[in-house]
Structure 1
């Protein structure tokens, strides 16, 4: 039994190029330094003694910079290539942390935080395009799952170390974040070879669907983005508003909230690669995406059906985690399938922007609904939005099937 399980994991992680593993290592180094952003509000209010409103303004500027950075990163990826955008994003972003450390006024903090995320978030579409470049259609979804594994492990390490550094001195958060960014850039520079995009792309005739030159003219993809935003808002709300509900309404202590949320990263690390390996050829990508979206709604439905029941909390965490594992790798892979080498950065950027927009809007919208109408009304709304998103993805799937029939 143990040997069989070990073989399954070996097969799930096997068959990917050296560059894919190196890119995952770059992501792990980068995300392991994620310390400043999670502690930004605490730093501004506790160390610099600004009001919560001022801190919110700085965080909002960082979010706005991230949205614009993702879009510009995609544009630059198509013009300059994914390798150089990743390299300069990591290096310049790392140096900006050392600048941000010395800012002491709201205007300079807002401007520097905006620039930091503008530069830093440009890494995402370039990295996504790079994974597509170094993978094959057969292992692409698993390649994205491996990258997500690196992100989740990094996110588990970064904030944990950040909490330790913050107790010593907040400046060490900026130093550590800057060093890890620059280290990731050096790792990429010296260990990942920059190949010629055109030469590699000629080796793989990987397009499964016809595409237009611009992502904005790809009607199926633009519809898909609308329903991705709805799903992303529902998903992000779980990690921004739900912990507040647990603490304020259910009186769960912070340490247990941390353990509950930590289950998400542990499950992703242990299960996602194996899950993708076993199921990816059984159904269409949009089918798995739809199932993932429904599971997101089910996680909130548990709160409605079992109000005040503490035992349902780990069940909800497991459910939202399987929602993530089913939907996100296939969404990423499907985005790449609809692109060409010439517009892949644009496609990746628009897809990444869905999560950037959700990250900014989910806490605001969720907080407003919960404050005015109560948490349980919010859960009901999110169940409804998840169902709308699911039906939307089913509609997108019917459009792709119909288009395939016409073309055949």
Structure 2
């Protein structure tokens, strides 16, 4: 049994280039300091005594900055290359955390959070383009999964440590995030050879010539992005509004909130690559995406069916994790497959912008609905979003098969 398991893991992780592993290592260092975002709403409401709608406004400013940062990050990636954009985003973003730590009023927090996200989110399209550059069509989904593995290993560490630091002082969350960002930038420079002089079109020749030369003229992709936004709005509630619900309604401590959120990253790290390796050949990517949407809705349904029961929280974490493992790697891979080497920055930027848009909409929508009608109405709204997204992705699948 142990030998079979070892062989399965070896096969799942085999055939990946050194550069992909180095990019994953950079991502791991960066995400190991992920402490501010998971606790931002709790920090604002508990330490600075902001109302939930105002806390949602600050978090939404991060999303607004992320929209612009992602867009310009994609433009810069096509102009100067993925290497320099990744380094600049990590280094400057790290410095911005130390600035954000000093802000305590609503206007300054909104402005600084916007600027931090503007710089930090430029990393997304550059990183996605870099992975496409160093991977092959055969291992591309797994290459993105390895990057997500690094994200989730870091996520397993960051929020858990963040819960500990929050009990001592929230300022340590900002310090840790800043240090890890800057450290990741240094590792990128020291270990990953700059192949920026080689344009992505020279490094990859797998593009399908018949694909549109602009994402904005790709009708199937535009529909895909709309339903991705709906999914992202629902998914992000779990890491913005849900922790506040756990704290205020179920009286879960910051430490245990950190452990629950960290468990999500640990589960993804342990099982996502094996899952993708075994199921990818069985169905089209959009089928797995659709299944992931349903699991997202089911995680919120658990809160409604088992109101007030703390023991249901680990099960909710497991279902949202299954949703993530089924949907996100295949979304990323599908997005790249719709592009050509010359348009990958644009396609990557638009896909990343879906999550930035959701970051704006999710806390505002969630905060306003929860404040006006209660958390359980909010969970019902999210379930409705997931049903619409499920039907939408099935429609996109139908269009791709015509």
Give 1:233's aligned residue.
233
The alpha-carbon deviation at position 95 of structure 1 amounts to 2.7
Counterparts of 1:324 and 1:7, CA distance in 2: 25
Instruction: Output the CA distance in 1 between the equivalents of 2:199 and 2:81.
Output: 13
Q: CA deviation at 1:343?
A: 1.6
More displaced 10-residue stretch of structure 1: 196-205 or 68-77: 196-205
Q: How does 1:47-196 map to 2 (within 5 A)?
A: 51-52=50-51, 57-102=57-102, 107-165=107-165, 171-195=171-195
Assess if the C-alpha contact under 8 Å between 1:206 and 1:337 holds in 2: no
Question: What value does the CA root-mean-square deviation take over the aligned residues?
Answer: 2.8
Question: 1:166: Cα distance to partner?
Answer: 5.2
Deviation of 1:210 after TM superposition, in Å, equals 3.3
Deviation at 1:38, TM superposition (A): 4.2
Offset of residue 176 of structure 1: 3.2
Report the Cα distance in structure 2 between the residues aligned to 1:255 and 1:105, rounded to whole angstroms.
Answer: 26
Structure 1 stretch displaced more, 2-11 or 37-46:
37-46
* Residues 32 and 153, structure 2, Cα contact 8 Å, conserved in 1: yes
1:100 deviates by 3.8
Alpha-carbon contact 2:89-2:123 (below 8 Å) kept: yes
Q: Report the Cα offset of residue 296 of structure 1.
A: 1.4
Q: Cα offset for 1:115? A: 1.8
Contact 1:209 1:338 in 2 (8 A): no
Cα 1:203–1:365 change in 2 (3 A) is: closer
Equivalent positions of 1:267-278 (< 5 A) are 267-278=267-278
Deviation at 1:119, TM superposition (A): 0.8
Write the distance in 2 (CA, Å) between the matches of 1:238 and 1:46. 18
Inter-partner Cα distance in structure 1 for 2:108 and 2:254: 33
1:405 is matched with none
Q: Give the C-alpha shift of residue 289 in structure 1.
A: 0.6
Once residues 345 and 69 of structure 1 are traced to their aligned partners in structure 2, the CA distance between those partners, rounded to angstroms, is 13
**Larger radius of gyration between Structure 1 and Structure 2:** 1
Distance 1:195 1:384, change over 3 A: same
DSSP 3-state at the match of 1:207: coil
Distance across 1 between alignment mates of 2:259 and 2:104: 34
State which drifts further: 171-180 or 287-296.
171-180
- TM-fit CA distance, 1:364: 2.3
**Alpha-carbon distance, 1:219 to partner:** 0.7
Provide, for residues 191-222 of structure 1, a one-character-per-residue CA deviation record: whole Å limited to 9, x for no partner.
11122575664464323583222211111101
C-alpha deviations, 1:39-62, integer Å up to 9, x for none?
A: 556666777x57447665544433
Report the Cα distance in structure 1 between the residues aligned to 2:120 and 2:346, rounded to whole angstroms.
17
Per-residue deviation, 1:30: 1.1
**CA, structure 1 residues 309+112, in 2 after alignment: closer, same or farther (shift >3 Å)?**
closer
2:378 aligned partner:
378
Evaluate the alpha carbon distance shift between residue 291 and residue 35 of structure 1 in structure 2; reply closer, same or farther with a 3 A threshold. Answer: closer
Partner residue in 2 for 1:344:
344
Matched, 1:356 2:359: no
CA distance in 2 between partners of 1:262 and 1:179 (Å): 20
Can you list the C-alpha shifts for 1:97-151, whole angstroms capped at 9, x where unaligned? 3444455665554433322211111001100111111111111111111111111
Any gaps of 5 or more consecutive residues in structure 1? 403-408
**1:157 positional shift:** 2.2
Q: Which residue number corresponds to residue 392 of structure 1?
A: 392
2:60 touches 2:361 (CA, 8 Å); kept in 1? no
Contact 2:59–2:359, Cα closer than 8 Å, also in 1? no
Matching residue of 1:12? 12
1:342 counterpart SS class: helix
Deviates more, 1:254-263 or 1:269-278: 254-263
Aligned length: 401
Residue 221 (structure 2) aligns with: 221
Residues 231-270 of structure 1 correspond to what in structure 2 (within 5 A)?
231-250=231-250, 252=252, 255-270=255-270
Contact 2:298–2:383 (8 Å) recurs in 1:
yes
Shift in alpha-carbon separation, 1:166–1:240, aligned structure 2, 3 A: closer
